[in-house]
């Protein structure tokens, strides 16, 4: 194959790949923005606020992670994860004595007249439901962040491919039309074999003549 032909084909392939990466980057960037906006909108609508700084609600050591967001409204995935795992979860442990809603609910069903146990089961159900919703928001926010990082990587890769394709087209214009990808040495190698053989034959003949003389 001619070198110019190879350069043009490689450059065209690089341009096609660059376009594909750009389209992928645009879609990933859109997904990042869409998920981020949806998570923010849904969380803001809940009007959940972190306890203010110095509040007794976050004074205990198990609530230390809450203090970085003290007094703020919960609107991001990171805040949702903190509120769910470091505030709601700790309260649920105290309310249920370390038991989950499923466990307490089973006990309440076994004791229909125990109103306190039934109230505890209802509280655990509400708390675990809210915690699950917040963790879902955190998961979606994380996916949005990953999509944003992937979009940046796609745009960088597309830029690299565009540069390489441009260099390939420039090289295709400069290279000789008759130039091949690989220089052929096989012909010269094959021609050297008979020459070497003939020289050895001549040497052997001279030796025989000398011995006969």
Report the pLDDT value the prediction gives residue 173, as an integer from 0 to 100: 77
pLDDT per position as a tens digit, 51-102: 999 999 999 999 999 999 999 999 999 999 999 999 999 999 999 999 999 9
Report the pLDDT value the prediction gives residue 196, as an integer from 0 to 100: 53
- 135 SS3 class: helix
Report the pLDDT value the prediction gives residue 208, as an integer from 0 to 100: 45
Q: Where are the domains of the chain?
A: 3-182, 187-213
Distance CA 26, CA 37 (A): 16
pLDDT per position as a tens digit, 119-178: 999 999 999 999 999 999 999 999 999 999 999 999 999 999 999 888 887 877 777 777
Q: How confident is the model at residue 195 (pLDDT cuts 50, 70, 90)?
A: low
Q: In whole angstroms, how far apart are CA 205 and each of 8, 97, 209, 211?
A: 56, 107, 6, 10
Residue 82: alpha-carbon gap to chain centroid: 23
What residues pair up with 73 in beta bridges, in sequence order? 49
Q: In whole angstroms, how far apart are CA 145 and each of 63, 108, 148?
A: 26, 42, 5
Distance CA 47, CA 83 (A): 13
89: exposed, middle or buried (C-beta count within 10 Å: 0-12, 13-18, 19+)? middle
Report the pLDDT value the prediction gives residue 213, as an integer from 0 to 100: 46
Closest CA to 89 of 42, 138, 40: 138
């Amino acid at each position: 194959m001619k070198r110019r032909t190879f350069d043009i084909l490689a450059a065209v392939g690089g341009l096609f790949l660059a376009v594909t990466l750009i389209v992928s980057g645009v879609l990933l960037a859109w997904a990042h923005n869409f998920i981020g906006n949806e998570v923010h909108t849904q969380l803001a609508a809940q009007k959940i606020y972190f306890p203010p700084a110095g509040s007794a609600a976050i004074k205990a050591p198990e609530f230390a992670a809450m203090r970085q967001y003290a007094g703020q409204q919960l609107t991001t995935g990171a805040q949702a994860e903190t509120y769910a795992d470091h505030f709601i979860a700790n309260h649920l442990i105290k309310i249920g004595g370390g038991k989950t809603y499923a466990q307490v609910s089973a006990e309440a069903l076994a004791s229909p007249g125990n109103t306190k146990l039934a109230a505890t089961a209802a509280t655990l159900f509400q708390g675990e439901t809210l915690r699950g919703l917040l963790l879902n928001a955190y998961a979606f926010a994380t996916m949005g962040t990953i999509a944003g990082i992937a979009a940046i990587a796609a745009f960088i890769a597309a830029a690299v491919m565009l540069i390489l394709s441009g260099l390939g087209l420039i090289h295709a214009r400069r290279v000789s039309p008759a130039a091949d990808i690989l220089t052929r040495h096989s012909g010269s190698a094959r021609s050297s074999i008979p020459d070497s053989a003939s020289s050895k034959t001549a040497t052997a003949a001279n030796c025989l003549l000398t011995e006969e003389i």
